[in-house]
Amino acid sequence: MIDRIFDIGYRRLETGARHRFAPWPIARTALLLAWRRRATKVGLLFCLGNIILFGGMIVVQVLMQRFDDQTMADAALAEAVFGTAQEVFSSFVQVQFMTCAVALAVIAAGFVADDRQAGAFELYFARPLTRMDYATGKVLATAAVPLAALVVPAFGLWFVAVGGTSAVHGKALWSLGPPTMATALCGALWLTGAVIGISALGEKARTVGAVFVAVLLGLSAIGDALPAAGFPQFGYFSPVRDLRTVADALLDVGPRSMGIAILHGGGPLNGSAWLSLLALVLQSALGFGALHWRLQREVVG
Amino acid sequence: MLLSFQGVRKTFGFFAALDDVTARVEGRAIGLLGPNGAGKTTLMKICLGLLAPDAGDATVLGLDVRTQAREIRMRLGYAAEGAGRIPGLSGLESVAYAGELCGLRRADALRRAHEMLDLVGLDESRHRGVEAYSTGMHQRIKVAMALVHDPALVLLDEPTTGLDPESRDALLDLIVRLRDGDGPAVLLSTHLLHDVERTCDACVIMQSGRVRFAGPLADLQVARLRTFDLRTRGPAAPLAAWLGERGCGITHGRRDDALTVRLPESAEPGLIWAGAAASGCALWHLEAQSASLEEAFLEAIGPNP
């Protein structure tokens, strides 16, 4: 094949306003590239599995309640086996948080690291983009994963519970929506901040993914082991423990039922839900700070 | 004014990549010439606002690089020397993505990407992933990405590196067409003199972070036209002595009737005729030395300090 240049020629574009929301193509392209990898689909399948599992539990609860209403059977026994809606919501957020972390390690680990490795910063910043545009695009792409796998399904579970239950029980479930969403958002915030921060510091997606999971497990181990040894303040280092504390406090979860305990056994909590919330926010802020530092270091203006 | 630099200085640690760069450049295609490490890429990055000068002022298309970097980048296209690609995207997607980053709507960016890929000669291979591209295809993709948003000035950093002769020829043709047509102005950074000679109407010569020449190519070559080979009837020694007293550089040939005379800046070629008359030497051959860009370039950069 002989390549011929100038078959069409150079055409000037009409001048006009070209101001679009620059982060959007960045986020969309990052997600598109991630979607093309098989590992992404596998990660999301695990997340979907959790959604189906907990969705099934909610459906069983709703049906049990309707059954109880009609037969006046012992509701306490049903609750002991299948748990309460609070338990399901709280446990779903915690279990999905961990699953989502693994999924993010394969999906989003390379969002910034790959650009760095490929020398693509120049490609971005030779165009009319600011550091904020780039960072917003990458954060949007990263946040899309926990939003889609954690926050939206949490809302879905609540919606199913509220919509499917009888009028008598439905009233109590309405008030569970905001705390469930708030807990899921806390988890999503931590996941987004942590993975984007580590991605900004690293250069290879696989290493970043492994480090991200190691950081999560390491902090969780510290946060569980040291409080048991008499240093309760170290419990705030564990994002899992922090999220558990926030979830249980917001949703006012009592003792675990048999069914939920099989899926998620719970665990010790931190002393203050507010401090746990603060710890989650600070840890995610560290991640966003790392992204900011990287971009300041690499790019002028 | 396309580009203007006034006392621009940029250092990396103790190394001065640019040292008091002062130049005003106008033209449709400008060659940025210089040996490796001369500061060409640093100067380009300053034009783009990717690097901030430590001192001095620089304007691109009349816009200040410190305060109007975003506006400049809106009107500039840049094909970097390094990798600068997004792994996983096809050639078409890469070019369309570059367009979107510059504010084009997605549909417009895709249409424009097709046009630019036709322009640089990437046909069906545009749908393949960029990782599978050869070096030459990468160069073309980078040029297409630089042109996709229709910039007023496109900066090409060593665009012919790694191209086979045919592709190189085609790319240089493209630059000529951009220069002569309605396309953007081109700043071509290279150390290949032939590329500049073929495509550019002006050039900036850099060495060790300093500008040694900035202006039209013709001006650079005129400087070379101040050297003449001459032959006299009989010995040329009296003429050599007369011209030597007036500041001319004299090189004696193998024969005693042959001389090479280099006129000082202030002198006109008529000085040789006057000298011949005064010294009684009859000239029978006088020829200005040919001015290749290579000679002019070597003369402009002088000895490496």
Where does a domain end: B221, B247, B275?
A: B221
Question: Is B137 in the same domain as B266?
Answer: no
DSSP state, residue A230: T
**Shared-domain flag, residues B90 and B185:** yes
> Quick check: is B302 in a domain?
no
Residue A4 inside a domain? The answer is no
Model confidence at B44, pLDDT cuts 50, 70, 90, reads very high
Q: Does A19 touch chain B (CB under 8 A)?
A: yes
Among candidates A22, A29, A126 on the partner chain, residue whose Cβ is nearest the Cβ of B50: A126
Question: What is the edge-to-edge ordering of all strands in the sheet holding B249-252?
Answer: B249-252, B258-262, B227-233, B282-288
pLDDT for the residue numbered A8: 62
What is the model's pLDDT at position A189?
A: 96
Check whether residue B110 and residue B230 sit in a common domain. Answer: no
Is the pLDDT confidence value at A2 over 80? no
Residues of chain A contacting B149 with CB distance shorter than 8 Å: 13, 18, 127
B149 assigned to some structural domain = yes
Indicate yes or no: CB of B84 within 8 angstroms of CB of A119. yes
Chain B segment 176-195 residues within 8 A of A by beta carbon are: 177-178, 181-183
Average pLDDT over chain A reads 85
- Rounded CA separation B234/B280 (Å): 10
Nearest chain A residue to B65 by CA distance is: A301
For A111, nearest residue in chain B (alpha carbons): B86
Q: Is B49 on the interface with A (CB under 8 A)?
A: yes
CB atoms inside a 10 Å sphere around CB B98? 31
Q: Are residues B172 and B237 in the same domain?
A: no
Is B242 found in the same domain as B145? no
- Summarised one tens digit per residue, pLDDT across range A60-103 is 877 777 766 555 555 666 666 667 777 888 888 989 999 999 99
Query: Which CATH number fits the domain that encloses residue B29?
Result: 3.40.50.300
Between B59 and B223, the more confident residue is B59
- Take residue B182 and report the two structure tokens written for it: 């309605």
Of B197, B221, B245, at which residue does a domain stop? B221
Tell me whether B106 touches chain A (CB under 8 Å).
yes
Domain assignment present for residue A198? The answer is yes
Interface contact A119, partner B, CB < 8 A: yes
Q: Does some domain include residue B300? A: no
Q: Is the pTM of this model over 0.90?
A: no
pLDDT score at A258: 55
Across the interface, whether the CB atoms of A123 and B183 are under 8 A apart is answered no
Do the Cβ atoms of B55 and B8 come closer than 8 Å? yes
Query: CB–CB of B188/B175 below 8 Å?
Result: yes
Nearest to A20 among B80, B105, B182 (CB): B105
- Cα separation of A108 and A131, whole Å? 19
A and B: number of Cβ contacts within 8 A: 127
Residue A185 near residue A150, CB atoms below 8 Å: no
Q: How many domains does chain B have?
A: 2
- Asked if residues B181 and A10 have their Cβ atoms less than 8 Å apart, the reply is yes
Would you call B52 and A25 a contact, using CB atoms and an 8 Å cutoff? no
For B38, the domain range is 3-221
Q: What is the ipTM of this complex?
A: 0.84
Task: Look at chain A and report how many structural domains it folds into.
Answer: 1
d(CA A117, CA A205): 9
Q: Give the model's pLDDT for residue A293.
A: 95
Sheet hosting strand B202-207, strand order edge to edge: B76-79, B153-157, B185-190, B29-33, B202-207, B210-216
CB B2 within 8 A of CB B61: yes
Any domain includes B82:
yes
Average pLDDT over residues A260-277: 75
Is B284 found in the same domain as B212? no
Q: Which domain holds residue A113?
A: 23-298
- Rounded to 10 deg, the angle between the B237-245 and B270-279 helix axes is 120
B86 located within any domain: yes
Chain B closest-CA separation from residue A15 CA (Å): 9
The pLDDT confidence band at residue B115, using thresholds 50, 70 and 90, is very high
The answer to whether A2 faces chain B, any CB pair under 8 Å, is yes
pLDDT at B122: 85
| B258 part of a folded domain | yes
pLDDT at B86: 85
Give percent of chain A above pLDDT 90: 49
Please, which residues 140-179 of chain B have a Cβ atom closer than 8 Å to chain A?
145, 147, 149-150, 166-167, 170-171, 173-174, 177-178
The domain that contains B238 carries what CATH number? 3.30.70.100
Q: Please indicate, yes or no, whether residues B150 and B265 belong to a single structural domain of this protein.
A: no
Residue B280 lies in a domain: yes
- Clarify whether residues B196 and B270 are in a common domain: no
A257 within a domain of the structure (yes/no): yes
Question: Under an 8 A CB cutoff, do A122 and B50 touch?
Answer: yes
User: Where is pLDDT greater, at A150 or A90?
Assistant: A150
Q: Does A287 score more than 70 pLDDT?
A: yes
- CA distance linking residue A164 with residue A58, whole number of Å: 9
Residue B299 covered by a domain:
no
pLDDT of residue B224: 59
d(CA A263, CA B223): 85
Mean pLDDT (whole number) for A270-274 = 87
Same domain, B180 and B270: no
Record the tokens describing residue A130, joined without a space. 């600011």
In this structure, the answer to whether residues B200 and B248 fall within a common structural domain is no
A232 within a domain of the structure (yes/no) = yes
Which pLDDT score is estimated for A5?
45
Model confidence over B205-255: pLDDT tens digits? 998 899 988 888 877 766 556 788 889 988 899 999 999 898 888 888 888
pLDDT tens for B193-204 read 888 988 999 999
pLDDT for B53: 92
User: How many angstroms away from the CA of A154 is the closest CA of chain B?
Assistant: 32
Q: Reply yes or no on whether the pLDDT at A171 is more than 90.
A: no
Q: Do residues B139 and B244 share a domain?
A: no
DSSP string for residues in chain B = --EEEEEEEEEETTEEEEEEEEEEE-SSEEEEE--TTSSHHHHHHHHHTSS--SEEEEEETTEETTT-HHHHHHTEEEE-SS----TT-BHHHHHHHHHHHTT--HHHHHHHHHHHHHHHT--GGGGSBGGG--HHHHHHHHHHHHHTT--SEEEEESTTTT--HHHHHHHHHHHHHHHHSSS-EEEEEES-HHHHHHH-SEEEEEETTEEEEEEEHHHHHHHHTTEEEEEEES--HHHHHHHHHTT-EEEE-SSTTEEEEE--TT--THHHHHHHHHHTPEEEEEEEPP--HHHHHHHHH-S--
Q: Taking residues B93-99, what's their average pLDDT?
A: 94
Please name the residue of chain A whose CA is at the shortest distance from the CA of residue B84. A120
A166 pLDDT exceeds 90?
no
Beta carbons within 8 Å of B106's beta carbon, 6+ residues apart: A25, B96, B100
Q: Which residue from A minimizes the CA distance to B53? A: A300
Q: How far is A288 from chain B (nearest CA, A)?
A: 22
B171/A5 touch (CB, cutoff 8 Å), yes or no: yes
Pairing verdict, β B282-288 and B227-233: antiparallel
Residue A246 in any domain: the answer is yes
User: Which pLDDT score, from 0 to 100, does residue A6 have?
Assistant: 45
CB-based contact A5 B173, cutoff 8 Å:
yes
Note the pLDDT tens digit of each residue in A16-66: 656 678 899 999 999 999 999 999 999 999 999 999 988 888 888 777 777
Can you say how many angstroms the Cα of residue A200 is from the centroid of all Cα atoms in its chain?
Answer: 18
Check CB contact of B87 with chain A, cutoff 8 Å.
yes
With contacts defined as CB-CB under 8 Å, which chain B residues touch A22?
101, 103
Helix-helix angle A131-146:A110-117, to 10 degrees: 140
pLDDT category at B152 given cuts 50, 70, 90 is very high
DSSP assignment of A260-286 = HHHH-------S-HHHHHHHHHHHHHH
Neighbours of A37 (CB within 10 A): 15
Please tell me whether residues B122 and B232 are part of one structural domain.
no
pLDDT at B263 over 80: yes
